[in-house]
């Protein structure tokens, strides 16, 4: 068991994460009904306000707080309890991130920031909303630096040794997050805040979007990598196996530092103002970032097969039946992985220049992110929640909670399958994203979106409702394991942190040479961004004044 003070820190992070999850999923439920024209909002509430709250609270707040809870728990477990300074800075980071979260939520609820989670200019929110975003990023950086400090202390005490896999992966993810955050902090501090507070009249839209996506794409790997950490480190332990290959795991993580950042233009393929050459270059780099995910898929299949055969699985697929299907901690993560097969394939489609023309800004993209962040990542976090909170509180994860856990993940999978499938199909039929309900004057194309059995807005709403039900079951499990479930007394009732062994003997030391990886990352960033960004600054068209469309 890790130190009580580290547990407290992690639990507070999880607490905020699940408050955001509760409000965010409620907003999601309202949205699917509005899109289906089954719900009219009162005049003081706007669809775009709810959409912003949904995106911000789930994609930015739930994820970040949960991820830091996981990092804190795992770092304390793998390299030892935090010292007083690390703990102090982690609390300061938590407080600043929470302050940003509260301020952003107040701005959204009061109707001052219906700009969606991408906050695209020239939509203009209250200046305080951008201050809130800056606080959020800086808060996460403070916690990140605290964790890096903890790692450095360990490295000094263990000179020449490779760090444990969990710590290595935490630091990789943090490196990615800090480098990525530079883009969003730059645009918020130097463009949005002066513009929103009236210090300047106009904003350079293309530059602001490009700096946002410089951050926005690695942001998705900031969500994904902690899920991969669970796949690499937790899953083998649940299977009774070791990490398949320590070097493969580390290499796949450092490849994310290299290739996840210089690729933001693949979100801007339809935008004018960026030449085809730079778009093409960044699309090529996007195809490079697929490789570490394929390495991860390979590693997972290998782990399953080795574990299944060790348990007596025979023949080509006999090992599959030997996996611990009755353990919800495993089954939830397995379903999460399975969703990432179509989720990742969809990403490859999005990144393909011509196909992007068909799907960009349609509901297809919404379908894509619900089967990437909304299931592979979120359901992995659910699988972690089942043991992490009992581990931190010292309470039991009872048999009835395990049963409820199964109901929760199965309903999530069914709801997501219905909702995301219909979103993908609706997208191909041209239904736009980021829009409230509109009948489009009964245009035949728009009428199609309400036809068919599996392919319409009604299916989407049914899926969304099942998801909400599932979310409420999860909240119940969270509350039970935080406050109500009986305290574990007997040895066998204590829930452990399942952390698999990873053989480091054959792992090359250069894999943990951060100067190499961060250095190459910056070289790639400069190659991919220096010329197009400087072009946007030096040949900027007239800037835009702000618009408030709500």
Residue 370: active-site member: yes
Q: How far is CA 127 from CA 123, 132, 183, 197, 421, in A?
A: 12, 9, 18, 5, 38
Per annotation, catalytic residue among 309, 434, 468, 494? 434
Binding footprint of ligand HAS on the chain (CB under 6 A):
118, 220, 223-224, 266-267, 286, 289-290, 293-294, 296-297, 300-301, 337-338, 340-341, 344, 347-348, 350-351, 356, 360, 365, 368-369, 372-373, 377
Residue 434: active-site member: yes
Looking at the Cβ atoms of 98 and 350, the one nearer to ligand HAS is 350
Per annotation, catalytic residue among 209, 267, 329, 370? 370
Of 308, 304, 300, nearest to 341 by C-alpha is: 300
Q: Is the preceding omega at residue 186 within 30 degrees of 0, hence cis?
A: no
H helices present in 311-398, as ranges: 318-321, 328-351, 353-359, 363-370, 378-393
CA gap 197, 202 in Å, rounded: 11
Query: Least Å distance between CB 337 and ligand HAS?
Result: 4
Looking at the Cβ atoms of 2 and 113, the one nearer to ligand HAS is 113
CA gap 393, 434 in Å, rounded: 40
Looking at the Cβ atoms of 115 and 365, the one nearer to ligand HAS is 365
Query: Least Å distance between CB 453 and ligand HAS?
Result: 25
Looking at the Cβ atoms of 155 and 434, the one nearer to ligand HAS is 434
Name the DSSP letter for residue 352. S
CA gap 78, 76 in Å, rounded: 6
Residue 369: active-site member: yes
Looking at the Cβ atoms of 8 and 434, the one nearer to ligand HAS is 434
In the complex, residue closest to ligand HAS by CB: 344
Residue 150: active-site member: no
Looking at the Cβ atoms of 67 and 162, the one nearer to ligand HAS is 67
Query: Least Å distance between CB 475 and ligand HAS?
Result: 22
As given in the structure block, the two tokens for residue 507 are 């792992």
CA gap 516, 448 in Å, rounded: 53
CA gap 218, 182 in Å, rounded: 11
β partners of residue 102: none
Per annotation, catalytic residue among 68, 369, 391, 397? 369
CA gap 4, 73 in Å, rounded: 11
Residue 232: active-site member: no
CA gap 294, 384 in Å, rounded: 23
Calculate helix-pair angle for 378-393, 205-229, nearest 10 degrees.
Answer: 60
> Assign residue 513 a region: left if phi > 0, alpha if psi is -120 to 50, beta otherwise?
beta
CA gap 263, 256 in Å, rounded: 11
Per annotation, catalytic residue among 7, 433, 497, 529? 433
Looking at the Cβ atoms of 236 and 347, the one nearer to ligand HAS is 347
Per annotation, catalytic residue among 54, 217, 266, 424? 217
Query: Least Å distance between CB 184 and ligand HAS?
Result: 14
Looking at the Cβ atoms of 300 and 461, the one nearer to ligand HAS is 300
Q: E strand or H helix at 183, and its extent?
A: helix 165-187
Looking at the Cβ atoms of 102 and 284, the one nearer to ligand HAS is 284
Query: Least Å distance between CB 187 and ligand HAS?
Result: 16
Query: Least Å distance between CB 29 and ligand HAS?
Result: 19
Q: E strand or H helix at 533, and its extent?
A: helix 514-538
Per annotation, catalytic residue among 368, 395, 424, 457? 368
Query: Least Å distance between CB 376 and ligand HAS?
Result: 7
CA gap 257, 168 in Å, rounded: 13
State the Cα angle at 220 between 67 and 23, rounded to 5°. 60
Q: Which residues contact 457 (CB under 8 A, 6 or more apart)?
A: 32, 35, 36, 37, 422, 426, 431, 449, 450
Counting every residue written for the chain, the total comes to 550
Query: Least Å distance between CB 360 and ligand HAS?
Result: 3
Strand stretches in 490-542, DSSP E: none
Query: Least Å distance between CB 498 and ligand HAS?
Result: 18
Residues noted as catalytic: 217, 221, 368-370, 433-434
């Amino acid at each position: 068991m890790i130190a009580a003070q580290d547990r407290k820190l992690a639990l507070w992070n999880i607490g905020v994460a699940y408050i955001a999850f509760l409000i965010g999923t409620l907003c999601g439920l309202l949205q699917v009904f509005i899109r289906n024209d089954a719900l009219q909002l009162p005049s003081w509430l706007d669809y775009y306000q709810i959409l912003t709250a949904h995106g911000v609270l789930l994609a930015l707040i739930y994820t970040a707080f949960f991820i830091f809870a996981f990092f804190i728990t795992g770092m304390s477990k793998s390299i030892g309890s935090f010292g007083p300074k690390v703990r102090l800075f982690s609390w300061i980071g938590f407080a600043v991130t929470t302050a940003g979260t509260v301020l952003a939520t107040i701005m959204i609820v009061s109707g001052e920031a219906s700009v969606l989670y991408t906050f695209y200019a020239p939509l203009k929110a209250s200046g305080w909303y951008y201050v809130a975003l800056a606080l959020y990023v800086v808060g996460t950086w403070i916690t990140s630096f605290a964790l890096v400090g903890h790692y450095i202390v360990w490295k000094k005490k263990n000179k020449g040794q490779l760090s444990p896999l969990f710590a290595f992966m935490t630091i990789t993810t943090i490196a990615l997050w800090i480098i990525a955050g530079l883009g969003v902090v730059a645009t918020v501090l130097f463009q949005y805040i002066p513009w929103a507070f009236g210090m300047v009249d106009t904003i350079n839209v293309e530059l602001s979007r490009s700096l946002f996506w410089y951050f926005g794409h690695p942001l998705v790997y900031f969500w994904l990598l902690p899920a991969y950490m669970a796949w690499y480190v937790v899953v083998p332990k649940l299977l009774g196996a070791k990490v398949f290959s320590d070097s493969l795991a580390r290499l796949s993580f450092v490849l994310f530092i290299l290739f996840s950042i210089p690729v933001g233009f693949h979100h801007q393929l339809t935008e004018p103002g960026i030449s085809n050459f730079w778009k093409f270059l960044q699309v090529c780099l996007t195809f490079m970032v697929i490789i570490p995910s394929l390495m991860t898929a390979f590693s997972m299949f290998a782990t399953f097969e080795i574990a299944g055969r060790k348990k007596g699985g025979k023949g080509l697929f006999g090992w599959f039946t030997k996996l611990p299907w009755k353990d919800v901690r495993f089954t939830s993560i397995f379903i999460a992985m399975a969703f990432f097969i179509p989720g990742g394939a969809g990403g490859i489609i999005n990144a393909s220049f011509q196909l992007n023309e068909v799907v960009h800004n349609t509901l297809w993209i919404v379908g894509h992110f619900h089967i990437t962040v909304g299931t592979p990542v979120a359901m992995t976090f659910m699988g972690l929640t089942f043991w992490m909170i009992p581990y931190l509180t010292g309470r039991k994860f009872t048999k009835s909670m395990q049963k409820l856990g199964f109901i929760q993940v199965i309903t999530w999978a069914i709801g997501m399958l219905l909702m995301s499938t219909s979103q993908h199909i609706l997208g191909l039929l041209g239904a736009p994203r980021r829009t409230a309900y509109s009948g489009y004057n009964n245009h035949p194309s728009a009428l199609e979106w309400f036809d068919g059995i599996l392919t319409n807005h009604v299916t989407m709403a049914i899926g969304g409702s099942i998801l909400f039900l599932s979310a409420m079951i999860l909240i119940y499990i969270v509350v039970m394991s935080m406050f109500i479930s009986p305290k574990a007394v007997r040895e066998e009732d204590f829930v452990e942190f399942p952390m698999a062994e990873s053989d480091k003997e054959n792992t090359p030391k250069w894999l943990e040479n951060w100067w190499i990886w961060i250095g190459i990352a910056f070289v790639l960033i400069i190659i991919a961004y220096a010329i197009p960004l400087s072009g946007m600054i030096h040949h900027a068209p007239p800037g835009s004044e702000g618009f408030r469309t709500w």
